Amino acid sequence: MSDSAHASSQSFITKYIFSTDHKVIAKQYMFTGFFMALLGGFLAYVIRMQLTYPGESIPGYGAINFLQYNSVVTMHGTIMIFWVAMPLLLAALGNFLIPLMIGARDMAFPKLNMLSYWIFFLSVVVLIASFFVPGGAANGGWTTYPPLSSAKYSGGQWGVTLWLIAVALEFAAFLLGGINFVTTALNMRAPGMKLFDMPIMVWMQVVASVVFMLSVGPLIAGAIMLLLDRTVGTGFYDPAQGGDPMLFQHLFWFFGHPEVYVIMLPAFGALAEVLTVFSRKTIFGYKMIVYATIATGGMSFLVWAHHQFVAGIDPRLATPFSITTILISVPVAVTTFSFMATLWKGKIRFTTPMCFALGTISLFLLGGVTGIHHGAPASDMFLHDTYFVVAHFHYALIPQVFFAFFAAFYFWFPKMFGAMFNEVLGKLHFLGTFLFMNVTFLPMFVLGFMGHQRRIANPQMFDTLRNAQVEHLHFIATIGAFGLLLSQVPLLINLVVSLIKRKAPGNNPWQANTLEWTTSSPPGHGNFETQPTVYRGPYEYSVPGAAQDFIPQNVKQ
Amino acid sequence: MNQAVNVGTHSKENFETLGIPTGRLAMWWFLASEIVIFGGLICIFLLMRWRHPEWHAEAEHTLNFAGGFNTLVLLTSSLSAVLAHDAIEKGLPKKAASYLGYTLLGGILFLGVKSYEYAHEIGAGFVPAKSMFWSFYYLMTGLHAVHVIAGMIAIFVVMLGVRKGQNLQRVELVGIYWHFVDVIWIFLFPLLYLSA
């Protein structure tokens, strides 16, 4: 914290590389996340090409064998969840916004924050290195279930071992980050800011961090056990030695399902901010959203075993887990409908962030509704491990990881970089992404109902899938994937052009209320020139009788 | 919490909205995540142990004097950690540093006895891959030992600072952590040593 005094005397290295400033760390996380998204996107391209033109050489990759295909699928999932969703939604947004939104100079522990990023960076290095070891990268699926990930079946290669180390480092980074987030939000709030004066985004980041911290432990233990199985020869997951492979599935999903909500909550936080500002209305049901968020976080610990309906679970357990799985959609629906009610009769401004926010809601509904099919064991038996599942979780995750993140990215871009982006390019980015997202993943619902298993490298080897309809659907999905990747070009152009042009946005380009808009764009080291004091809630828009249609939180009256 | 401790945590930027020192708040959150790691592991062990009553034959080999002695050592080292905190509250950093030194000695003794146990067991053929009981034994005591080592490094760093009169509030924080390591052992000891 004493670092802020020396802001002017910082060298390039302490200012941009080993920085303790939360805003710089947020950017480091964000650009690392972008880089990993490109890598994950490239792997998606390889998957699509192989499925559409099985066995043919893929431009930019070459011929792919089945083992390599397994690696590509595994790493695509791993990267997109752990190295894109987590750094973008949790680390980048949380780091940038929590101190600014609560009126703090920085995080509670700036050095811990820097350590968190560099551990994360190390995990990236280990993960990328795993592509180049003998035997290739991990190939047991992003869930790394044993025995697929055991020394025996993964060929005893290095891939899975490095995967486990990289994931462990990543978890350590986010544990440090999570402790920072929670203590900062609880203990560093500006004078006058009560818990229920915090913007929804801060609530979401805090609940997500707590859920992460309380769910990841058993998987850390489980990962150590898998590592010992692979290296020392123990048999925790080997029935021949008295172990149980199902154990890993339970440990993985005890973390893995709460993780879905760890990703979802910060995305919802972004929606709450963007939707209210561009509806010019107070948020519908602030406290209801907060309580629903806490309920979602709590219930997320009680749904994991729906992943084992097919692998084998006592029917007496399947029913309660089915009930909790369907029940958790209630608090999620409360939040979603509160967002929609916020729009009702608002003065809607269709800016780029607003378009992405509306896109998130509409796409996420489809992802949420198709979740019901998996919560009920009867339909899950049929749909498990098919492309229906693949379509379902892409409809659940892409709206959050990309649409909601882009809503946040464009919304806070002026604050982050002190430059305004180009609206036309932004809308082009939105339209392309929205259109091609559906072109890519809608056909997969149909493929799933046709019985197309996920993770198979060549559908033409199966009698039931060797027909023109399957080929057509794969072809459409591949066209969509190309479109989806190309639609990101306007984003890159926009980023480069607006950073060169540097059109100054002013402190508060969106006429928003929360504290980050009361300081300069970008905020200097230490964030606020004078300590803000909070007098009101974050969403007082269009208050009858007020001079303007917004009243910032630090305005007394 | 008296003033002597709060000197280090209070600063202009640090509001302590909740009235709890930020360092202590962070330590409790950190321990919450640690509890889930060991809690998960202990649950797994209990579920497995329940299904395999025959493990008691293996567990008999851990029931010896060394385990009991080590429990005593670890509990005593926690006592001196408390005394160190007490000395800080009374404004006696030099005394606190020497109490932390005793805690460190306890940690060294604990690890020494544990190494002797490991060597003895491995010599008798009870290696990690021998059976599931031994896998769990080495996993759980090993993970605990890693925490003991981490705690000792932290205590050493804090002790050096306290000698120079710096970061006095950290004595309480490493104390909380050391108690946690102690409590984990209190769970592991009956599960792995006494359950024969």
Residues near A281 by beta carbon (within 8 Å), at least 6 away in sequence: A342, A343, A345, A346, A347, A541, A542
- Which structure tokens are listed for A112? 């811990």
- pLDDT, residue A196, reads 95
Q: Which of A540, A537, A508 is nearest to A281 (CA)?
A: A540
Q: Which of B130, B120, B44, B61 is nearest to A232 (CA)?
A: B130
- Contacting A with CB below 8 Å, chain B residues are 11, 13-18, 20, 22, 25-26, 29-30, 32-41, 43-44, 48, 52, 128-129, 131-132, 135, 139, 143
- Which residue of chain A is at minimal alpha-carbon distance from B135? A234
Contact B128 A233 (CB under 8 A): yes
Enumerate long-range contacts of A111-114, CB under 8 Å, 24 or more apart: A111/A20, A112/A176, A112/A179, A112/A180, A113/A20, A113/A22, A113/A25, A113/A176, A113/A177, A113/A180, A114/A18, A114/A19, A114/A20, A114/A25
- pLDDT, residue B6, reads 36
Dist. CA B115–CA B138, nearest whole Å = 12
H helix or E strand, kind and range, residue A47: helix A22-52
Cα end-to-end span (Å), chain B: 44
Q: Which of A38, A136, A18 is nearest to A80 (CA)?
A: A38
Amino acid letter, B113: V
- Which residue of chain B is at minimal alpha-carbon distance from A222? B41
Overall pTM surpassing 0.90 (yes/no):
yes
Residue A215 in contact with partner chain B when CB distance is under 8 A: yes
Cα–Cα distances (Å) from B53 to A106, A243, A322, A556, B132, in that order, read: 54, 15, 32, 69, 12
Dist. CA B89–CA B164, nearest whole Å = 16
- Percentage of chain A beyond pLDDT 70 is 98
Q: What is the pLDDT of residues A428-457, one digit of tens each?
A: 999 999 999 999 999 999 999 999 999 999
The average pLDDT across B55-68 equals 86
Residues 334-373 of A with CB under 8 A from B: none
Q: What are phi and psi of B13, to 5 degrees?
A: -80, -20
Q: What are phi and psi of A548, to 5 degrees?
A: -110, 170
The model's confidence at residue B9, banded by pLDDT at 50, 70 and 90, is very low
Cα–Cα distances (Å) from A110 to A2, A3, A183, A313, A490, in that order, read: 10, 9, 12, 45, 34
The average pLDDT across A455-461 equals 92
- pLDDT, residue B4, reads 34
- Which structure tokens are listed for A533? 């004091």
The model's confidence at residue B19, banded by pLDDT at 50, 70 and 90, is confident
Cα–Cα distances (Å) from A182 to A179, A309, B90, in that order, read: 5, 35, 31
Tallying the residues shown for chain A, one arrives at 557
Q: Which of A522, A538, A286, A270 is nearest to A416 (CA)?
A: A522
In Å, how far is B73's CA from the nearest CA of chain A?
A: 26
Strands (E), B15-142: none
- pLDDT, residue B15, reads 65
The model's confidence at residue B2, banded by pLDDT at 50, 70 and 90, is very low
- What distance lies between CA A414 and its chain's CA centroid? 22
In Å, how far is B78's CA from the nearest CA of chain A?
A: 25
Q: What is the pLDDT of residues B127-175, one digit of tens each?
A: 988 899 999 999 999 999 999 999 999 999 999 999 998 889 999 999 9
Q: What is the DSSP letter of A420?
A: P
Number of H helices, E strands in chain A: 19, 0
- Which structure tokens are listed for B23? 């360092």
pLDDT score of A156 more than 80: no
Enumerate long-range contacts of B119-123, CB under 8 Å, 24 or more apart: B121/B61, B121/B62
The model's confidence at residue A155, banded by pLDDT at 50, 70 and 90, is low
Q: Give the Cβ contact number of residue A480 at 10 Å.
A: 21
- Percentage of chain A beyond pLDDT 90 is 82
Contact B30 A228 (CB under 8 A): no
Dist. CA A44–CA A138, nearest whole Å = 16
Q: What is the pLDDT of residues A376-392, one digit of tens each?
A: 888 888 998 999 999 99
Strands (E), A8-56: none
Between helix A423-449 and helix A489-501 the angle, nearest 10°, is 160
pLDDT score of A157 more than 80: no
Least confidently predicted of A488-497, B32-41, B58-67: B58-67
Dist. CA B148–CA A496, nearest whole Å = 50
Residue A222 in contact with partner chain B when CB distance is under 8 A: yes
Candidates B11, B18, B20, B29: best to mutate against A (most CBs of A within 10 A) is B29
Domain range annotation of chain B: 20-194
Contact A236 B135 (CB under 8 A): yes
Question: How high does pLDDT run on average in chain A?
Answer: 92
In Å, how far is B132's CA from the nearest CA of chain A?
A: 6
Contact A187 B11 (CB under 8 A): no
pLDDT score of B11 more than 60: no
Enumerate long-range contacts of A140-143, CB under 8 Å, 24 or more apart: A140/A70, A140/A74, A141/A70, A141/A73, A141/A74, A141/A77, A141/A455, A142/A73, A142/A74, A142/A76, A142/A77, A142/A78, A142/A81, A143/A249, A143/A252, A143/A256
Dist. CA A235–CA B140, nearest whole Å = 15
Is cis: bond before A490, omega within 30 of 0?
Answer: no
| Contact indicator for A93, A86 with CB cutoff of 8 Å | no
Residues near B68 by beta carbon (within 8 Å), at least 6 away in sequence: B193
The average pLDDT across A266-294 equals 96
- Which structure tokens are listed for A129? 């290195």
The model's confidence at residue B13, banded by pLDDT at 50, 70 and 90, is very low
- pLDDT, residue B10, reads 37
| Contact indicator for A248, A226 with CB cutoff of 8 Å | yes
Q: Which of B16, B19, B46, B38 is nearest to B182 (CA)?
A: B38
CB environment B26-47: b (16+ within 10 A), e (fewer): bbbbbeebbbbbbbbbbebbee
Least confidently predicted of A129-133, A267-271, B59-63: B59-63
Q: Does domain B20-194 bear CATH number 2.60.40.10?
A: no
- pLDDT, residue B14, reads 52
The model's confidence at residue A9, banded by pLDDT at 50, 70 and 90, is low
**ipTM of the complex as predicted:** 0.89
| Contact indicator for A326, A376 with CB cutoff of 8 Å | yes
pLDDT score of A10 more than 70: no
Is cis: bond before A522, omega within 30 of 0?
Answer: yes
Alpha-carbon radius of gyration of chain B:
19
Q: What are phi and psi of B152, to 5 degrees?
A: -65, -40
Residue A235 in contact with partner chain B when CB distance is under 8 A: yes
Amino acid letter, A81: I
* Most distant CA pair in chain B, distance: 61
- pLDDT, residue A302, reads 93
Residues 135-194 of A with CB under 8 A from B: 175, 178-180, 182-183, 186-191, 193
Residues near B163 by beta carbon (within 8 Å), at least 6 away in sequence: B93, B94, B97
| Contact indicator for A112, A179 with CB cutoff of 8 Å | yes
In Å, how far is B108's CA from the nearest CA of chain A?
A: 25
